[in-house]
Amino acid sequence: MQTITPAPITGIIKNPGIGYQTFYKSAASDTQLPSSTMYIRVNWSEVESAPGAFNFAVIDHALSSAKSAGQRLAFRIMGYEEGNFGPAGLKNGGFPGFTFSFDRFSGVWFPDLTQDVVQQDLAALVSALGQKYGNNPAIDSVDIGFVGDWGEFHFWHTSPTPPYPSTSALNGLTDKFLANFKVPVVIGGDVRAGDDSAFKYAIQSKVGWRVDCWGNYASGWNHMRNAYPAILAEAPKAWQNAPVILEPCGVMSNWVASNYPWQQALLWAIDNHASQFSNKSSPIPSVMLPYVQDMLTKIGYRFVLTQAQMPTSVAHSSFTLRLNWSNVGNAPMYFERRLLVKIGSLVTDTGITMKGFLPGNRTDTPIISVGGLASGTYSVQIGLAAPGNLVPDITLAIAGAGPWYTLGNLVVGNLVP
CATH number at residue 153: 3.20.20.80
* Domain-ending residue, one of 263, 296, 329: 296
Q: What is the CATH number of the domain that holds 374?
A: 2.60.40.10
> Looking at the structure, do residues 225 and 203 belong to the same domain, yes or no?
yes
Q: Is residue 10 assigned to a domain?
A: no
Between the CA of residue 94 and those of 78, 81, 100, 142, what are the distances in Å? 20, 22, 17, 29
> Looking at the structure, do residues 237 and 217 belong to the same domain, yes or no?
yes
What is the tally of structural domains in the chain? Answer: 2
CA distance 399 to 396: 8
Going by C-alpha positions, the residue among 11, 18, 10 that lies closest to residue 301 is 18
**What integer pLDDT is reported at residue 89 of this predicted model?**
96
> Looking at the structure, do residues 277 and 340 belong to the same domain, yes or no?
no
> Looking at the structure, do residues 79 and 151 belong to the same domain, yes or no?
yes
Exposed, middle or buried by CB within 10 Å (0-12, 13-18, 19+), for 347?
Answer: middle
**What integer pLDDT is reported at residue 415 of this predicted model?**
52
CA distance 110 to 86: 6
Domain that holds residue 206: 19-296
* Domain-ending residue, one of 261, 296, 331: 296
**What integer pLDDT is reported at residue 316 of this predicted model?**
81
> Looking at the structure, do residues 26 and 41 belong to the same domain, yes or no?
yes
> Looking at the structure, do residues 187 and 92 belong to the same domain, yes or no?
yes
> Looking at the structure, do residues 148 and 92 belong to the same domain, yes or no?
yes
CA distance 96 to 51: 13
**What integer pLDDT is reported at residue 315 of this predicted model?**
87
Q: Is residue 405 assigned to a domain?
A: yes
* Domain-ending residue, one of 232, 261, 296: 296
CA distance 144 to 194: 15
> Looking at the structure, do residues 175 and 317 belong to the same domain, yes or no?
no
> Looking at the structure, do residues 90 and 173 belong to the same domain, yes or no?
yes
Q: What is the pLDDT along the chain (417 residues), one digit of tens a residue?
A: 999 999 999 999 999 999 999 999 999 999 999 999 999 999 999 999 999 999 999 999 999 999 999 999 999 999 999 999 999 999 999 999 999 999 889 999 999 999 999 999 999 999 999 999 999 999 999 999 999 999 999 999 999 999 999 999 999 999 999 999 999 999 999 999 999 999 999 999 999 999 999 999 999 999 999 999 999 999 999 999 999 999 998 999 999 999 999 999 999 999 999 999 999 999 999 999 999 999 999 999 999 999 999 999 998 889 999 999 999 999 999 999 999 999 988 999 999 999 999 999 999 999 999 988 999 999 999 999 999 999 999 999 999 988 999 999 999 986 544
> Looking at the structure, do residues 168 and 221 belong to the same domain, yes or no?
yes
> Looking at the structure, do residues 24 and 93 belong to the same domain, yes or no?
yes
The residues, ordered by sequence, that sit 6+ positions from 410 with a Cβ below 8 Å of its Cβ are 310, 311, 312, 313, 314, 319, 343, 370, 377, 378, 379, 380
Cβ atoms of 97 and 90 closer than 8 Å: yes
- Phi, psi (deg, nearest 5) at residue 41: -120, 140
Exposed, middle or buried by CB within 10 Å (0-12, 13-18, 19+), for 311?
Answer: middle
> Looking at the structure, do residues 81 and 204 belong to the same domain, yes or no?
yes
112 alpha-carbon distance from chain centroid: 30
Q: Is residue 3 assigned to a domain?
A: no
341 alpha-carbon distance from chain centroid: 27
**What integer pLDDT is reported at residue 417 of this predicted model?**
41
